[in-house]
Amino acid sequence: MAAKVRAHVYIQGRVQGVFYRDWTKRLANSLDLTGWVRNLTDGRVEAVFEGEKKMVKKMAGECKAGPKIASVSHVDVIWEKATGEFKDFAIIG
């Protein structure tokens, strides 16, 4: 079984009001990832992804593009130890 990892991701740009969270949830589910995504009051989107390293890296990379109507200017990825605390992937705010 592949080792699990966690990525804590902050996405900047035109990422709110463009279905970024819905896009993130659909892609995370397709990659069998758990965690959450939410809008921040400063206009960024924050997400936590847990799963197999290869899939989490793919998701973090895809965040740089986002949905077609988004315009991502910067993505910060902080790698952390997986905790296994999530059962699924959710939009939390």
**Residues with a known catalytic role:** 21, 39
Which distant-in-sequence residues (6+ apart) come within 8 Å of 40 by Cβ? 10, 46
**Residue 12: strand pairing partners:** 74
**Residue 36: strand pairing partners:** 48, 90
Of 2, 1, 11, nearest in space to 78 by CA: 11
C-alpha 54/C-alpha 57 separation (Å) is 5
